[in-house]
Structure 1
């Protein structure tokens, strides 16, 4: 074989591998990434999309899946065409969002499906930005693209959409890993997403590089940061426990038999809240009165057992607008008689549009004085027609610390939950498929803002958390005839760094994305980078541009 043939054979061998050994020794994210055939790329996509279903923030979450699926989807993104790869990743994210609707029994409607498509588009953008920028930046910059962009996407979803953090927050998948979750007291939930996405970038860097030496700095830096987070979180739990006095709090629901009877009575009314308000009183009022009496009896029982604060679930009492004052007066009488702080929640049905009712919570002190009347600020899109409240979270000082209150879905909006409270009361009303994961997400708010949180769920899992996210008590509505959650809750919270700096970390990530995008677009390439890019183009299949 002559020299020309030998060189041709050597070149073909390099092309068959998809990249040169020199390219794979660069230690640069995305540089020298081989372009495998479709039969090898698409199984990575399918596996990543399947694993993502177990990290959607629903009842079937597996914590490890949240760390694995970004690794696989990022690998797929970097090894193919920009346009087709982005489309496939968008479809994978749509599949995850639709699966979340299914596993949470939220139902499929034009509103929920449109929301799934929109959320999926936002969560696809980090992969697209990584694909476009990772080969145009210096190695340390390239590693920041994906985690910064993912945090930016989570932040935009929380701030600008009506879905809050109910979907799209990777921190929600890590429930129970308390040392890791202590990070949210500094960065908010966005720090967890950053760590998970950063891990995906580092793993892909190792995957793309044949030699250890070029990647050891990135691997050791990430490992050191992750260990520091876990050690600091563990130390916070071990060495800084709350030493505050506690108060006995009872969360109650009505007896399941009277609740079933109320549901049966409401099932005979066709139409919305206006139809309920206009229905013959004889058909609904006995059932509604039975639920109210059951809650008042349970309140007396728990007060006699030593509870100083009693919490009813969201819309614990359903009442017509004409009877609202009477329902409140009965609760005031019970608070005075029992000498307790009583938080009641009312679902009011009215003939006055456009909402035809209200979803509100009131706190009554032992003198029978109403300390606040709060209306739900974030009705669930597509299913709750209430007029939103003003979003001002009420905080009052009591002998048991500063008490605050929001209603159910409001707790999915971290910004409004950052208030100076010691105990946050969250009356809620979920359902069997979504009650547990929704309550678990509320634990993040307790850690972020440094207060205890008591979430009493009408049809779900009720839990009291301390300000570290540790469970003080929990009960499941579907495993008992009358759900009662009793916890001794610390009466003094803690000021967290997140309290002081708010979403600074998320804003920093947004600024980083803008800066990296500007550098990637404006920075001239070095001769070595131009040579590497030309080599990538020469190895790409016909019609494919690698970036």
Structure 2
């Protein structure tokens, strides 16, 4: 039997004169004559695992296996360099096919995405051969989870790209694990499959070799069976629900607004700049329409009404009068009204993206300002990120705005229902709304995302869709009955402790690999 397959220790590293250089293939990993086939196949599969319209869930589990095989059996510069190009290419492909406007900031973001997500391959290539079997198997997946975490918490684009959990939207049993650990554990499981398969690939088949994939399969099985059991035996209670209506401006009202601006009609891909001095005249038809649709929804039984992001456009001088009118509608119809407005300012940054939540008595319960404007696309001053929560007869109601929901940390809120006014575009709206469903699982609340020019959906605290509306073609009020009692999840209580443990583990393993060991005397 070949050396290194008779126990669970990895092949030793030769540190003497015959040790391979840092540009040679790893010890025990000779060049693979098929490695460029693995690179090409991994590159193609990676395009279908980018949180995009054409994602294939299985592709997310396979592409890193092949890219890891290529990087491990190639010289460092070539192997990691080409994997980096593949990673950046996948990020740019994402930006293109979901029609993200290409600006300097978004292009830089694409390069940044690719660079961060290529880092685990570099670290694995350099350090995994210096570690024992268990440590070598864990280094890549832990660092992959850490990279997702760093982008999701500290980068300006959040988890809009690079979060592998988003690619598994059609596997609710698997996704239930994020209620315990947060979304980054799915990336760890996918990364672990890559190292496990490569472990077997690099060694002659034996019982000792086979133990590693058996252990991995058992762990993955526990995750999926546990998630299935949660869905089957602990369903979300629908004994008490509240009727919620989502409101968008009607196309007819938007046409009137655009004609007041000298445009032939409403074009969702070409919304001209408003002049703060003339906003009241230009927006009157839309605001009147929004109030009319709100009244119609209330008379259809809605107790909570939420508008899509920036549904009303008002100048700062008219904000007080607008809120007075909104309070009158809420009071007259005896409902909770979440109005979403773009307030135009006479000086830079020229606008605020905010919501106002009004109670049935007309009281203003919160004013919330978007905490995460889209870098390179929105110039609003960010809000403080303190998510408002109000107790009502229908549970604890909370609110963020659109892109805020791509930052899991801000969504750790003790609520029963999370309202998310959104504003997207046809190529991205459905994906963006599906991504938000992970926040419902993580935090145990129902989530209602009312999206303009995209895809509106409501989800249970288990992330299961209740109702949807394609708002690229339908601007009628959307009405859905939503559970009023959320659940308490471990992730909501502990936050990102799992991700921090992955970071600590990665640092420990890196230290073990790079710190010279003293020889026994």
TM-score over 0.5 (shorter chain): yes
Q: C-alpha separation between the residues in 2 aligned to 1:195 and 1:31?
A: 26
Q: Secondary structure of 1:517's match?
A: helix
Q: How far is the alpha carbon of 1:260 from its aligned partner?
A: 3.9
C-alpha spacing 1:267/1:150, structure 2 compared with 1 (3 Å): farther
Match of 1:277 among 271, 275, 284: 275
Partner of 2:409: 415
Match of 1:161 among 155, 159, 180: 155
Q: How far is the alpha carbon of 1:381 from its aligned partner?
A: 0.4
Q: How far is the alpha carbon of 1:298 from its aligned partner?
A: 1.1
**1:362-416, Cα deviation, whole Å (9 max, x unpaired):** 1100111110000001111011111111110000101100000000000111111
Aligned ranges 1:431-446 → 2 under 5 Å: 431-446=425-440
Q: Which moved more, 1:419-428 or 1:259-268?
A: 259-268
Q: C-alpha separation between the residues in 1 aligned to 2:160 and 2:202?
A: 34
Work out whether residues 171 and 192 of structure 1, in 8 Å CA contact, stay in contact via their aligned partners in 2: yes
Q: C-alpha separation between the residues in 1 aligned to 2:255 and 2:171?
A: 37
C-alpha spacing 1:327/1:520, structure 2 compared with 1 (3 Å): same
**1:233-277, Cα deviation, whole Å (9 max, x unpaired):** 0111111112251111111212122224434555769xx999623
C-alpha spacing 1:278/1:454, structure 2 compared with 1 (3 Å): closer
Q: C-alpha separation between the residues in 2 aligned to 1:267 and 1:49?
A: 47
Instruction: Tell whether 2:70 aligns with 1:76.
Output: yes
Q: How far is the alpha carbon of 1:119 from its aligned partner?
A: 1.8
Work out whether residues 273 and 357 of structure 1, in 8 Å CA contact, stay in contact via their aligned partners in 2: no
Partner of 2:247: 252
Q: How far is the alpha carbon of 1:36 from its aligned partner?
A: 2.2
Q: How far is the alpha carbon of 1:479 from its aligned partner?
A: 2.9
Match of 2:31 among 32, 35, 57: 35
Q: C-alpha separation between the residues in 1 aligned to 2:413 and 2:99?
A: 31
Work out whether residues 258 and 287 of structure 1, in 8 Å CA contact, stay in contact via their aligned partners in 2: no
What 5-or-longer segments of structure 2 have no aligned partner?
12-25, 265-269
Q: How far is the alpha carbon of 1:212 from its aligned partner?
A: 3.1
What 5-or-longer segments of structure 1 have no aligned partner?
1-19, 528-547
Q: Secondary structure of 1:479's match?
A: coil
Instruction: Tell whether 2:506 aligns with 1:522.
Output: no
Q: How far is the alpha carbon of 1:231 from its aligned partner?
A: 0.8
Q: Which moved more, 1:235-244 or 1:23-32?
A: 23-32
Q: C-alpha separation between the residues in 2 aligned to 1:161 and 1:237?
A: 33
Work out whether residues 276 and 315 of structure 2, in 8 Å CA contact, stay in contact via their aligned partners in 1: no
Partner of 1:511: 504
Q: How far is the alpha carbon of 1:483 from its aligned partner?
A: 3.5
Aligned ranges 1:349-368 → 2 under 5 Å: 349-353=344-348, 355-368=349-362
Q: How far is the alpha carbon of 1:526 from its aligned partner?
A: 9.3
Q: How far is the alpha carbon of 1:295 from its aligned partner?
A: 1.2
Instruction: Tell whether 2:111 aligns with 1:117.
Output: yes
Q: C-alpha separation between the residues in 2 aligned to 1:34 and 1:290?
A: 70
Work out whether residues 25 and 211 of structure 1, in 8 Å CA contact, stay in contact via their aligned partners in 2: no
Q: What is the Cα-based RMSD across aligned positions, in Å?
A: 2.2
Match of 2:493 among 488, 494, 500: 500
Q: C-alpha separation between the residues in 2 aligned to 1:189 and 1:266?
A: 44
Q: Larger Rg: 1 or 2? A: 1
Match of 1:429 among 412, 423, 432: 423
Partner of 1:102: 96
Q: Which moved more, 1:143-152 or 1:58-67?
A: 58-67
TM-score normalised to structure 2 length: 0.92
Q: C-alpha separation between the residues in 1 aligned to 2:46 and 2:107?
A: 18
Q: Between Structure 1 and Structure 2, how many residues are aligned?
A: 499
Work out whether residues 130 and 146 of structure 1, in 8 Å CA contact, stay in contact via their aligned partners in 2: yes
C-alpha spacing 1:320/1:153, structure 2 compared with 1 (3 Å): same
User: Which structure features the higher share of helix residues?
Assistant: 1
**1:51-77, Cα deviation, whole Å (9 max, x unpaired):** 111111122211111101111111111
Q: C-alpha separation between the residues in 2 aligned to 1:212 and 1:483?
A: 63
Partner of 2:21: none
Match of 1:149 among 133, 143, 146: 143
Q: Which moved more, 1:259-268 or 1:93-102?
A: 259-268
**1:124-153, Cα deviation, whole Å (9 max, x unpaired):** 111111111211111111100110010111
Q: Which moved more, 1:491-500 or 1:323-332?
A: 323-332
Work out whether residues 56 and 100 of structure 1, in 8 Å CA contact, stay in contact via their aligned partners in 2: yes
Partner of 1:387: 381
Q: C-alpha separation between the residues in 2 aligned to 1:220 and 1:329?
A: 65
Q: Secondary structure of 1:226's match?
A: helix
TM-score normalised to structure 1 length: 0.87
**1:449-470, Cα deviation, whole Å (9 max, x unpaired):** 1111000001100000010001
Q: C-alpha separation between the residues in 2 aligned to 1:498 and 1:115?
A: 28
Q: C-alpha separation between the residues in 2 aligned to 1:207 and 1:144?
A: 16
Match of 1:327 among 303, 322, 325: 322
Q: How far is the alpha carbon of 1:162 from its aligned partner?
A: 0.4
Q: Secondary structure of 1:473's match?
A: strand
Q: C-alpha separation between the residues in 2 aligned to 1:113 and 1:98?
A: 8
Q: Secondary structure of 1:153's match?
A: helix
Q: C-alpha separation between the residues in 2 aligned to 1:288 and 1:526?
A: 77
C-alpha spacing 1:400/1:105, structure 2 compared with 1 (3 Å): same
Q: C-alpha separation between the residues in 2 aligned to 1:507 and 1:173?
A: 23
Q: C-alpha separation between the residues in 1 aligned to 2:256 and 2:159?
A: 34
